[in-house]
Chain A
Amino acid sequence: MKALHNILDSIRPHFEEGGKLSKFWVVFDSLETFAFTPGHTNKNGVHIRDGVDLKRTMFLVILALVPALLFGTWNQGHQYLLSIGEISVSDSWDTMIWDKLLIGAWKVLPLVVVSYGVGLGIEFLFAGFRKHSINEGFLVSGMLIPLIMPIDVPLWMVAVAVAFSVIIAKEVFGGTGMNILNVALTARAFLFFAYPKQLSGEIWIHEVAASKADGLLVDGYTGATALGHLASTVGKPIMNADVTSVMGMFDAGGMYSLSNAFLGLIPGSIGETSALAILIGAALLIWTGIGSWKVMSSFLVGGLVMGFLFNLMGMNAYMTLPPIHQVVMGGFMFGMVFMATDPVSASQTERGKWIYGFLGGFLSIMIRVFNPAYPEGVMMAILFMNVMAPLIDHYVIQANVSKREKRAILAFEQRATA
């Protein structure tokens, strides 16, 4: 590898100050440091440094996303073939597996490319403009964004959303590490509010509208997600015929049964459907200590508690759904593992993480059920908690500050009496 480094050394002068390509220093620098951890040594402080760096950390997060990505790719093909009746639910998972993967990859890959292309392009611009080296933060955001998109979202919309979130949610605050809101969720929220029409209804299964027009669509496939169906039950009596037919889909053997929802054999955003694939990623994050198990576990508990409270209220059919069923549907698991745990936008104190996670999970289920206009409450809940996180931290830290002040006052009084 010495040879490769020699090549880099020989072209370096072109990129340095005064060189022909000095405008592209950031590009050179980031590619070089990507390939070689630089020979920088420690000065003025510790002489030895831990082996971990931000590249390693971000790489492990991406690794944790791989199960969800692979499953999502397969599942999008699977859902499409199911919807047009090419396969049936009783077929083995590997029936027409290459068709499934090909259809999935055909849609997913462009999303990934657009997300990384636009996002990294903007990052390079800002890094060059600000004369600092490129931060690794977007490597994860760029993978998260496609995974929370519906399969048929137009690519230009994704590009606009990525640009918006990288610039408005991140760079205006000073770049990686300074943002208040989770970058990937901001992209999704932008799409939701800027293009509400395009981002609802028949986009959750590939070409569902076209299939319907051609009369290919199998009964029961509407292109809506499980949460969309559930939202339609709100405001209707529990014993209403429409409602019972919807709720039937959530019983064992139904389209959105607990096992289907857990395994992810349901329509939805690309990466969010399979709780199992997400939990494999969660296991890696917790095992390597990169994702906060405190946030994840309290988020889960928060969701289950809200689900249980809804069970007790039982005011509509949605509320009667078992809590465990609630948390394996929609973006709950994905948000819990990959969004709420974003260290920059989450609570930064260890005690705060418990509160932050619990409220995040709690609100996710609450918004989902209370607001039928917008079934996906997880995004709103996490963004809301992002905003609240500094406040939680403030009170956690304030408790520590007053404890210290009290101790000082006590010592002062003791001295005064002595």
Chain B
Amino acid sequence: MSRTIRIRKGANIRLTGRPSTSVVDAPPAAIYAVQPPDFIGVIPKLRVKEGDAVMAGSSLFFSKDCPSVQFASPVSGIVKSIVRGGKRKILAVLIEADHQGRAESFPVIDPKTADRTAILGAMLNGGLFAFVQQRPFAVSADPAIQPRSIHISGFNSAPLAPDMAVALNGRMEDFQTGIHALKQLAGSEGVHIGVRSNETIFSGIEGANVTQFEGPHPSGNVGVQIHHAAPLNKGEILWTMHAEDVANLGVLLSKGSYHPLRVVGAGGSEHPAPKHMRAMAGTALTSLTEGHQDAENTRYISGDPLTGTDAGAAGYLGGLHHQVTLLPEGNEPKFLLTEGWLSPGLKKFSLSRSYPTWLMPKSKEFTMDTNSNGEERAFVVTGQYEPVFPFDIYPVQLIKSIMANDIDGMEKLGIYEVAPEDFALCEYACTSKIAVQKVVRDGLDMLKKELG
């Protein structure tokens, strides 16, 4: 019998446009992108040039610091272009798909009998190690370090997130294969899966410690699950992986092919038909948005509304994203009496109780735009982050220590355990509109640089 942990802090932001449980295959996109900035901490070194023919699984670039980590093309086709930004920084490698389905073939390995080196090698060559993240610092993992444990979240709790049970439906055998492989890679504390307490799809899984979680967002964040099930201590390294990529790992090992499948939660109030869509990593968003085209008044978010990136209508699904959200842009000024700060606010969703919407039934859903609903200010209100931050960590004090570049303070206050996404709800709730996730990211980068 697995342990059940109840997360009391947090909040579910009730947005309209939740994806229905139906799953359809997304129409194949013309262009797919692999975007190095999605993989934090990776400095890309190209292996291809424009015009090269690639197959699914062909390496497009590798990590400068860890050359064994390959970043592979999700589909077969031709390298259409390499998009560069300032200082020639590589922003994306675009692949024009030929829809032939040609794929590199990798050796088939039985993870139960193979040794650690063989499994790790297969994962690195087969492009799936790219999706492994590490804690601390919430960056792409270094394959040379054996992690204490590997953590997988078995559910999404973010607003409008895809349902993991829908996403993994019919893929549990591959998932199990992936778990067997990860078990060989992990150190003393093995593989941990955090599942929602009433979820049954993981009940037959072997080779992993299963912990049940109940409670609101961010209970599905792997960082929250690590903190409550097996907290990270200074000096330890953990890996995290998305459950769908664990299944993709199973496919790689059992069939020898790289197939970075995502069952994308396509939703948001502006999405014409919110549902789950089966697509490859890096697909053009146009194939997930049912032809919705209103770049001026709509924000196309790759990821969830709290942590995703503003990809634009012509953007691509981010490497680590499993969700697309379409929200109305909020770039119109709001008059104080009708929609602004003096309004009755019957449509304003707020975690504070300063608008009467908190009295409405818990089933009511709200449409939110991207307006910041106020300007940035100094910290004034206290006690606002804590109720949505389910860590035994003082969030405001940690943020302030980062702002003050106090390395010692950050360490003591527990920065090793957190990722920017864990602060997403704090940032959402902040009265002073402080960019909390960016502060955390800067702090993690600073600390990583400091420690070398």
Taking Cβ atoms with an 8 Å cutoff, the residues of A that contact B are 1, 4-5, 33-57, 59-60, 133, 135-137, 174-178, 287-290, 292, 343-344, 346, 348-350, 353, 393, 397, 400-401, 403-405, 407-408, 411-412, 415, 418
A36 adjacent to B334 (CB under 8 Å): yes
B355 adjacent to A51 (CB under 8 Å): yes
Q: Give the distance to chain B from A146, nearest Cβ to Cβ, in Å.
A: 22
A292 adjacent to B370 (CB under 8 Å): no
Set A46, A51, A55, A343: member contacting B383, Cβ < 8 A:
A343
- Name B287-339 residues within 8 Å CB distance of A: 299, 301, 305-308, 310, 325, 327, 329-336, 338-339
Pair count A-B, CB < 8 A? 216
Closest to A410 in B: B233
State which of B38-46, B126-134, B277-285, B429-437 sits at the interface with chain A: B429-437
Q: Give the distance to chain A from B44, nearest Cβ to Cβ, in Å.
A: 21
- Given A37-B339, A48-B368, A407-B233, the answer on whether A287 and B353 have CB atoms closer than 8 Å is yes
Which chain A positions have C-beta within 8 A of B396? Answer: 348
B377 adjacent to A39 (CB under 8 Å): no
Taking Cβ atoms with an 8 Å cutoff, the residues of B that contact A are 13, 15, 159, 188, 231, 233-236, 299, 301, 305-308, 310, 325, 327, 329-336, 338-342, 345, 348-355, 357, 368-375, 377-383, 386, 392-394, 396-397, 412-414, 424, 427-433, 435-438
Q: Choose among B335, B345, B386, B424 the residue with the greatest number of A CB atoms under 10 Å from its CB.
A: B335
A136 adjacent to B371 (CB under 8 Å): no
Closest to B434 in A: A45
Q: List 20 A-B contacts (CB under 8 A).
A: A37-B336, A37-B371, A39-B330, A39-B331, A44-B435, A44-B438, A47-B308, A47-B310, A48-B15, A48-B428, A50-B351, A50-B429, A51-B345, A51-B355, A52-B373, A53-B374, A174-B378, A288-B354, A348-B396, A400-B394
Which chain A positions have C-beta within 8 A of B430? Answer: 49-50
Q: Give the distance to chain B from A206, nearest Cβ to Cβ, in Å.
A: 34
B381 adjacent to A57 (CB under 8 Å): yes
In the bound complex, CA of A22 to CA of B353 (Å): 38
A401 adjacent to B329 (CB under 8 Å): no
B373 adjacent to A59 (CB under 8 Å): no
In the bound complex, CA of A39 to CA of B374 (Å): 9
In the bound complex, CA of A51 to CA of B368 (Å): 9
In the bound complex, CA of A46 to CA of B369 (Å): 11
Set B332, B336, B357, B383: member contacting A350, Cβ < 8 A:
B383
Which chain A positions have C-beta within 8 A of B308? Answer: 47
- Given A50-B430, A51-B348, the answer on whether A40 and B437 have CB atoms closer than 8 Å is no
> What 4 A-B pairs come out closest when comparing CB atoms?
A53-B374, A177-B378, A51-B348, A36-B333
Closest to B307 in A: A46
Closest to B381 in A: A343
Which chain A positions have C-beta within 8 A of B330? Answer: 39, 41
B380 adjacent to A48 (CB under 8 Å): no
Set B335, B338, B341, B379: member contacting A53, Cβ < 8 A:
B341
Q: Give the distance to chain A from B311, nearest Cβ to Cβ, in Å.
A: 11
Which chain B positions have C-beta within 8 A of A349? Answer: 394, 397
A41 adjacent to B372 (CB under 8 Å): yes
Which chain B positions have C-beta within 8 A of A175? Answer: 378
A56 adjacent to B354 (CB under 8 Å): yes
Q: Give the distance to chain A from B329, nearest Cβ to Cβ, in Å.
A: 6
Closest to A137 in B: B380
Closest to B353 in A: A289
- Given A41-B329, A41-B331, A47-B310, the answer on whether A53 and B382 have CB atoms closer than 8 Å is no
Q: Give the distance to chain A from B118, nearest Cβ to Cβ, in Å.
A: 25
A46 adjacent to B336 (CB under 8 Å): no
In the bound complex, CA of A407 to CA of B340 (Å): 47
- Given A38-B375, A411-B233, the answer on whether A292 and B383 have CB atoms closer than 8 Å is yes
Set A50, A60, A289, A401: member contacting B413, Cβ < 8 A:
A401
A415 adjacent to B188 (CB under 8 Å): yes
In the bound complex, CA of A53 to CA of B343 (Å): 12
B354 adjacent to A60 (CB under 8 Å): yes
A49 adjacent to B428 (CB under 8 Å): yes
Which chain B positions have C-beta within 8 A of A353? Answer: 383
Q: Give the distance to chain A from B43, nearest Cβ to Cβ, in Å.
A: 21
Set A1, A40, A397, A400: member contacting B371, Cβ < 8 A:
A40
Q: Give the distance to chain A from B182, nearest Cβ to Cβ, in Å.
A: 20
Which chain A positions have C-beta within 8 A of B374? Answer: 37, 49, 52-56
Additional A-B contacts beyond A48-B159, A289-B352, A400-B394 (15; CB < 8 A)? A48-B368, A52-B350, A52-B355, A135-B377, A136-B377, A288-B354, A292-B382, A346-B382, A348-B397, A350-B386, A397-B394, A397-B413, A404-B233, A404-B412, A411-B233
Closest to B306 in A: A46
Closest to B348 in A: A51
Which chain A positions have C-beta within 8 A of B342? Answer: 56, 59
B327 adjacent to A47 (CB under 8 Å): yes
Which chain B positions have C-beta within 8 A of A5? Answer: 333, 335
Q: Give the distance to chain A from B52, nearest Cβ to Cβ, in Å.
A: 33
Which chain A positions have C-beta within 8 A of B345? Answer: 51
B375 adjacent to A40 (CB under 8 Å): yes
Closest to B230 in A: A411
Which chain B positions have C-beta within 8 A of A51? Answer: 345, 348-350, 354-355, 357, 373
Closest to A9 in B: B333
Which chain A positions have C-beta within 8 A of B431? Answer: 50, 52-54, 57
